[in-house]
Amino acid sequence: MAAPPNASSAGQSDRILTMARAGREAVFSAMRKDPKVFVIGEDVGKLGGIFGTAVGVQEEFGPSRAIDTPISETGFIGIACGAAMAGMRPLVELAYVDFFGVCFNQIYNFAAKTHYMSGGQYRMPLTMMIGVGGGYNNAAQHSQTLYGTFAHMPGIKIVVPSNAYDAKGLMHACIADDNLTLWMVHKATCGLGWLGAPLKTAMAAVPETDYSIPFGEARVWREGTDVTLVGLGLTVHHCLQAADLLATSGISAEVIDLRSLVPLDRETIFASVAKTGRLVVVDEDYSSFGVTGEIIASIAERDPRLWKAPPRRVAYPDVPVPFSRPLEDFCMPDAQKVVAAVKSIMVPH
C-alpha cells in the first residue's frame, strides 16, 4: 500500500482507496459544488464509465448531468467543446485512448487551440477521463498509452496519476483548470476487479476532504544515489519494484513519478541526475519519438557533463501491441527490464 509522503498535509485518513474510487470522489465533489460540471460520453451514465470513474453519478445527478452518448466521438466531444466555450465544465469519458484518432480534429485543432486562436476570448474548461495501457491481452487497438502523441501538442495539460491519492488531487486540478486537461489512467492501476486484483502500490490513503495537486510537480518516491529511474502511471510501480531488486545488488536507485506529463517537471529530474549521473526512463508508450526521448534530451541538452554513463530507455518496442500473452509480455516494460537496463550502465565503461 502506498503512503504518499504528503497525505498528512491534506488531512489524515484511514481509508485506502482504489484509483477509480478516488477519481470518482473528486468527480462527485465537483458536481455537488458546481452545477456547471457534468459528465458525457460512452457508457458514462447507466454503467458509470467502463473504468468506474462515474459510477453512481447518474443516480445522484440525473441523466441531464450524466449523459450517455452513442459511439460517436466526434459528436460528443464537439458537444462538450461547445458547452465548455459557453461556460460549462464538461468531463468527457472516452474510455480507450486508442479511439481518440476518430475525433482528433476536435481535440488538437479545436479544444487545444481555441483559447489561443480566440485571443483569449474563449476558454475551454474541458477534462477528458481516459483509460490507457495494455497487459491484459486486449490487442493493438485497446492497449496503447499514446502519451507522447498528446504531449506533443501545445495547449493540452496531461496528468498520469500512479496512485489513488494523486488520482483524486490531480482530478480536482483538471476540473478547476480553465482549459483542456487530460486525466489519463492506466487500466492496471485503476483497481477494477474485472482487470485483476488491484495493484497494492496504486492504492493509497485518501482524505475525504477536497485537495488539489498542482500541475508540473513530480514526486520523488524513493531517494537514491546511483541511478535515477523516471516513470509515469504504471511504470512508476515497475520502477519501485526494480529499486527494491537493485537494492539487493547494492545499487541505490532514486524513483521519480512524473505525475504531470505536461507541464513536465524537468527540474526535479535534472536535480536527481545531477546527483546520480545515471538515468533510466521507463515508459509504456512506443520507444521512438516519445516521452523517453524527450526526457533524456531535456537533461542532456542542459548539461552534458552530468553523465557517468549513457542514459537508457525502457519503453514499448515500435510494434503494434500483440494479442498473444507471451508476445505482449515480451514487449511490456517491467521491473526485470528496468533492472537489466540499470545493470547495463552500472558496469565500468
Partner 1 sequence: MIDLVIPEDLWNDDREGVIVTWLYQDGASVESGKVVVELMVEKAQMELSAPASGRLTILAAADAIVHRGEVIGRIG
Name the residues that contact partner 1, by CB under 8 A: 14-18, 21, 52, 55, 191-194, 197-198, 203
CB of 246 within 8 A of CB of 339? Answer: yes
Residue number, 134 or 191, with CB nearest to partner 1:
191
How near is the Cβ of 200 to partner 1 at its closest, in Å?
9
* CA-closest candidate to residue 125, choices 154, 86, 151: 86
Sign of the C-alpha dihedral computed for residues 9, 13, 15 and 20 taken in this order: negative
Cβ-Cβ contacts under 8 Å for 298 (sequence gap 6 or more)? 264, 266, 269, 270
Query: Hey, how many other C-beta atoms are within 10 angstroms of the C-beta on 102?
Result: 14
Residue closer to partner 1, measured from CB, 48 or 290:
48
CA 43/CA 54 separation, integer angstroms: 9
For the CB of residue 203, give the shortest distance to partner 1 in the complex, in Å: 7
List C-alpha distances in Å: 330 to 49, 135, 136, 319, 334: 30, 10, 13, 12, 9
Maximum distance among all Cα pairs of the chain, rounded to whole angstroms: 64
Looking at the Cβ atoms of 21 and 115, the one nearer to partner 1 is 21
> Which 3-state string (H, E, C) describes 228-260?
EEEECCHHHHHHHHHHHHHHCCCCCEEEEECCE
Catalytic residue among 142, 172, 237, 238: 142
- Least separation in angstroms between CB 228 and partner 1: 32
172 a catalytic residue: no
As measured in angstroms, the least distance from the Cβ of 198 to partner 1 is 5
| Strands 204-205 and 16-17, bridge-based pairing | antiparallel
Nearer to partner 1 (CB atom), residue 14 or residue 301: 14
CB of 127 to partner 1, least distance (A): 23
One-letter identity of residue 214: P
Nearer residue to partner 1 within complex by CB, 129 or 282: 129
Least separation in angstroms between residue 15's CB and partner 1 is 5
Cis, bond preceding 304 (omega within 30 deg of 0): no
Contact criterion met (CB below 8 Å) for 252 and 226: yes
Q: How far is the CB of 62 from partner 1 (least distance, A)?
A: 21
Cα atoms in the Cβ-side hemisphere of radius 13 Å centred on 141: 4
Residues forming beta bridges with residue 48, ordered by sequence position: none
Residue 146: which region, alpha, beta or left (left: phi > 0; alpha: psi -120 to 50)? Answer: left
Cα dihedral across residues 87, 97, 151, 243: positive or negative: positive
Q: Bridge-partner residues for 37, per DSSP?
A: 89
Q: Do the Cβ atoms of 227 and 280 come closer than 8 Å?
A: yes
When the beta carbons of 32 and 343 are compared against partner 1, the nearer one is 32
Nearer to partner 1, 25 or 254 (CB): 25
Catalytic center residues: 142
